[in-house]
Amino acid sequence: MTVAYLGPQGSFSEQAALEHFGHAVQKLPCVSFDEVFRAVEAGQADVGMVPVENSTEGAVNRSLDLLLNTPLRILGERSLVIRHCLMSQSGNMDGIKTISAHPQALAQCQGWLTRNYPDPNGFDLKAALAARYEVPMNWITLGNGSNDILEIAALALLEPGTSAVYAQHSFAVYRLATQARGARHIVVPAKDYGHDLDAMFEAIADDTRLLFIANPNNPTGTFVPGDQVAAFLERVHAAHGDRVTVVLDEAYNEYLEPQFRFDSTALVRRYPNLIVSRTFSKAYGLAGLRVGFAVAQPALTDLLNRVRQPFNVNTLAQAAAVAALGDAAYLEQAYTSNKAGKAQLCEAFDRLKLRYVPSYGNFVLVHVGDAPRINLALLKRGVIVRPVAGDGLPEWLRVSIGLPQENARFIDALTAILSE
């Protein structure tokens, strides 16, 4: 018996043919789907083996099209288990016995990625986001992380002779994006390490075009309740109309406890001067792939997309983000783990009599006094935290929440340093 199949030696189709018919058969490898069908139709092979589903495309449309237009009949089906490579942020491979991938699977992925540009409009990801947040697809802008979204907003709306308003001790990118556009900085003093919305409203000037709110705030972890955000947006729009655009940066939103969560997309529907920015880098665990998005009404979205780079979100990032949106179990695990880790750190700070800012994110800002000395001592022990002197907090450190053992290592190191 001769079996025609798709692909070179080692392909999935060859493996399926050998498993189904045995190794005694004569093999006829073919370079295309069409060639497999022609070989069997012409009698050069007794049977053919073609994929109807694979790991890169899902349904293989060419096979299905040919099956509809051939006198050949389907005799059976062979399913293969495909082993995939595993990726982990922690690098902990305990309990994993084998890590392997079929060479053909790697070749298919590599070939496709090297031959094709990313979808410049991110259709599948936008469709998934539109369904999740119940907004039209043309309300969504994709970014290379939410940093990119913030930069795009500044590029679209700021120029010399305009100004941006943001809070003291807020995300450094607001300052950098404003500076890059040659616009004027209006920095509003923080209130309890967070946003003073009343003062920020009063700070809006005639040349103000953009106002940033980080909620929860980075690096302090503070949070503004939804009713206060809504009231602020109403004041801004009533006083300034669409002249002042508000960016509500919700990078850490998924870490909020349920009682603090609110529907910011409902605010987008109400206020045409609002951009809500989100990211897949935090709770979704895709920081290395760099994918974020904004939700805004079409007039603003059109402006953002005019200045957005056309291939700013790569193919793997788009695919991973679509998958992440559907993985509710992982998101819940990330929230639960973060909540437990936050309690672990705060209990240690209480025991060490260190002041800290109650956090709504995945980090805790803690007052340690001589922050440069303690940061260096932690580095020498292999523990990395973030100094925040550049954010106007020279005696504080921002500590990211990790896995229980990572938190414990930090706590042990800090305890030892403080006792020296």
Q: Is 85 or 51 the better-scoring residue by pLDDT?
A: 51
Is residue 386 within 8 A of residue 376, CB to CB? The reply is: no
Check residue 91 and give left, alpha or beta (phi > 0: left; psi -120 to 50: alpha).
left
* pLDDT of res. 270: 97
What are 164-184's pLDDT values in tens digits?
999 999 999 999 999 999 999
For 253-278, the three-class secondary structure string (H helix, E strand, C coil) is HHHCCHHHCCCHHHHHHHCCCEEEEE
Mean pLDDT over 280-308 rounds to 95
Q: Which of 22-31, 230-239, 252-261, 361-370 is predicted with the least confidence, judged by mean pLDDT?
A: 22-31
Residue 235 C-alpha from the chain's centroid: 32
Of the candidates 324, 349, 360, 357, the residue with the CA atom closest to the CA atom of residue 414 = 349
Mean pLDDT over 62-84 rounds to 73
Is residue 295 within 8 A of residue 136, CB to CB? The reply is: no
* pLDDT of res. 46: 92
CA distance 130 to 28: 47
Band of residue 57 on the pLDDT scale cut at 50, 70, 90: very low
* pLDDT of res. 100: 43
Whether the per-residue pLDDT at 405 is higher than 70: the answer is yes
For the chain, the three-class secondary structure string (H helix, E strand, C coil) is CEEEEECCCCCHHHHHHHHHHCCCCEEEEECCHHHHHHHHHCCCCCEEECCCEECCCEECHHHHHHHCCCCCCCCCCCCCCCCCCCCCCCCCCCCCCCCCCCHHHHHHHHHHHHHCCCCCCCHHHHHHHHHHHCCCHHHEEEECCHHHHHHHHHHHHCCCCCEEEEECCCCHHHHHHHHHCCCEEEEECCECCECCHHHHHHHCCCCEEEEEEECCCCCCCCCCCHHHHHHHHHHHHHHHCCCCEEEEECCCHHHCCHHHCCCHHHHHHHCCCEEEEEECCCCCCCHHHCCEEEECCHHHHHHHHHHCCCCCCCHHHHHHHHHHHCCHHHHHHHHHHHHHHHHHHHHHHHHCCCCEECCCCCEEEEECCCHHHHHHHHHHCCCCCEECHHHCCCCEEEEECCCHHHHHHHHHHHHHHHCC
CA distance 374 to 386: 11
Q: Residues of the chain with pLDDT > 70: what percent?
A: 89
Whether the per-residue pLDDT at 223 is higher than 80: the answer is yes
Whether omega before 225 lies within 30 degrees of 0, making that bond cis, reads: no
CA distance 211 to 143: 19
Q: Can you give the pTM of this predicted structure? A: 0.75
What are 84-128's pLDDT values in tens digits?
444 444 445 455 444 444 455 455 556 666 677 888 999 999 999
List, in order, residues 6 or more apart from 24 with CB less than 8 Å away.
Answer: none
Long-range CB contacts (within 8 A, 24+) of 96-103: 102/10, 102/12, 102/15, 103/10
* pLDDT of res. 112: 61
Mean pLDDT over 260-280 rounds to 97
Half-sphere exposure of 398 toward its Cβ, with a 13 Å CA cutoff? 22
Q: Which of 82-86, 283-287, 338-342 is predicted with the least confidence, judged by mean pLDDT?
A: 82-86
User: For residue 163, what are the β-bridge partners?
Assistant: 184, 208
Instruction: Give the number of residues written for the chain.
Output: 420
Mean pLDDT over 236-244 rounds to 98
